[in-house]
Amino acid sequence: MRSSILGSFCALLLLVREPACCGDEVTSGTVNPCCYLPCQHWGVCVWYAEDRYECDCTRTGYHGKNCTIPEFWPRVHDLLKPGPDTVHYILTHFSWLWDIINSTYLRDVLMRLVLTVRSNLIPSPPTYNSKYGYLSWESYYNLSYYTRILPPVPEDCPTPLGVKGKAGLPDPELLVEKLMKRRTFRPDPQGSNLMFAFFAQHFTHQFFKTYNRMGLGFTKALAHGVDAGHIYGDNLERQLHLRLLKDGKMKYQLIDGEMYPPSVAEAPIKMSYPPGTPPEDQFAIGQEVFGLLPGLGLYATLWLREHNRVCDILKAEHPSWDDEQLFQTTRLIIIGETIRIVIEEYVQHLSGYMLQLKFDPTLLFHAQFQYGNRIALEFSQLYHWHPLMPDSFHINGDELAYPQFLFNTSVLTHYGVDKLVDAFSRQVAGQVGGGYNVNPVVTPVAVRTIEESRHLRMQPFNEYRKRFNLKPYTSFREFADNEEIALTLEEFYGDIDALEFYPGMLLERTRPGAIFGESMVEMGAPFSLKGLLGNPICSPEYWKPSTFGGRVGFDIVNSATLKNLVCLNSRTCPYVAFRVPPEEQSVRTDEL
């Protein structure tokens, strides 16, 4: 048994899967043939005139009219490849085996394999954007756009999703009301807590910054990755207002002897607070929406304290450095700490894998890997995890409803960092997948997400399944294990191949005991890992002690943990993790 499992690991952990289904044959001369989405296996549809089209199968490993005939090695691979559920099962079971692997060089081998294969699913350089459904210099060069993995559905198709489904899409408010809105809070069976939920929101808001003033599909996050812009601001003017301009530090205010972000009165920048909120009651933070939730203010405070703490360490090591060098080097250290925490704790928790994930950029130094990243529209869409939010917030014996919690910076200063961290670490978050779990307070965001995807003519959910080497669903009953969801979707869309991307992500059946369904993991992980390891600090030119001010700074990056972030920057060391305490998780599992 053990030898057979070990012998199959190379194949099982390749994590590369290609679909076996074919596209519809184009039979009508009155419709743009590319509306049929005929080209399979990453083939590109080129329309010439009337019913004449061509699928460009270059370097896909397939040929034929619709890129459906495999060449020799893809055929062999199709025969040997395991399914995603098989891979997931192995990665989440057999603890005795993973104990051995995690203590040997095999951990590095498998980690390198996971990183390269996952990252190779994301095109680099980028391909399409919200304006161009074909390759163009503008798509590559103009960083104002989100990139996108699949081109938009052609504008002149018979149905909104091509040729499948009904002539009209369901009203987005009705769709959210009937299938996504919470009926009864459903906790995440993986035990994710509010510390995790707020980390997800605070971390991603540095690169998910839709620029609505420009229009849908535009982004303000020109760095397109982890740049700590949510701490330092997304432009130089904002950054300079937030900086102390002495010893590399950021501005701050002391409340009850503890460090918090400065007020807008002290750092005159634009923050999104309700009209009439006095400047002295507004925190000045790099990301302008972070006054919305005390959980975001909590992380902003922790990173502010960490930045100034690291500045003191570097100042002692380099007394000759000026303010600018201290600030810039500290920022690189903060970026490195962030990436390590994300990979080794945040992604580790999400995956549920027994393979111990490792942040080690040197694993890719001898692999084919392109440094750089572009944030994709699809990544932004799938990361709307609003079911994480609870019905109320439990802090130090008090229960706070949303009206008491939103835009209330006094929640953070009243309870303090220590009590807030402890409370958020002990309160379970909601399960994201499976439907019926979006709190009514945030259902308007789900509606806007669906409206955005329609405006930008995103391809159907099943087309994205195929693009990420997953088998497309053949029916709504296969897609959803809830009969009511399946029947309602059948009524709304008429055809599984007409199901939209975002509803597909949130309504798909979840894996047993997991926070998500299969698609969220298999599509989200490649975006995440490519963005993290594609960061410049992970490149051979940057990843060395001198980049971080010497061995002391490099050690800070290489020892970063969520616990260190909290306990080195608070009076006490409260319980802190991305999962509720084991004893509480055990009770909750029994209840479920």
> What residues are labeled active site?
205, 383
Q: Which residue has the tokens 């680099």?
A: 124
Q: Provide the 8-state DSSP code for 473.
A: P
Are 378 and 121 within 8 A, CB to CB?
A: no
CA gap 329, 315 in Å, rounded: 11
CA gap 513, 191 in Å, rounded: 10
Instruction: Using alpha carbons only, give the angle 259, 320, 313 rounded to the nearest 5 degrees.
Output: 35
Are 287 and 230 within 8 A, CB to CB?
A: yes
Extract the tokens encoding 298.
Answer: 């909590």
Map residue 251 onto helix, strand or coil.
coil
DSSP sequence for 548-583: GTSHHHHHHHHT--HHHHHHTTSSS-----SB--HH
Q: Which residues pair with 162 in a beta bridge?
A: 159
Q: At what angle do helices 323-341 and 551-558 cross, to 10 degrees?
A: 30
CA gap 544, 367 in Å, rounded: 18
- Residue 513: left (phi > 0), alpha (psi -120 to 50), or beta? left
Q: Which residues pair with 128 in a beta bridge?
A: 148
Beta strands 128-129; 69-70: pairing state = unpaired
CA gap 263, 281 in Å, rounded: 7
Are 491 and 333 within 8 A, CB to CB?
A: no
CA gap 536, 210 in Å, rounded: 23
**Cis amide bond preceding 125, omega within 30:** yes
For 169-232, strand residue ranges (E) read none
Map residue 85 onto helix, strand or coil.
helix
Alpha carbon distances (Å) from 476 to 383, 433, 473, 515: 23, 15, 7, 20
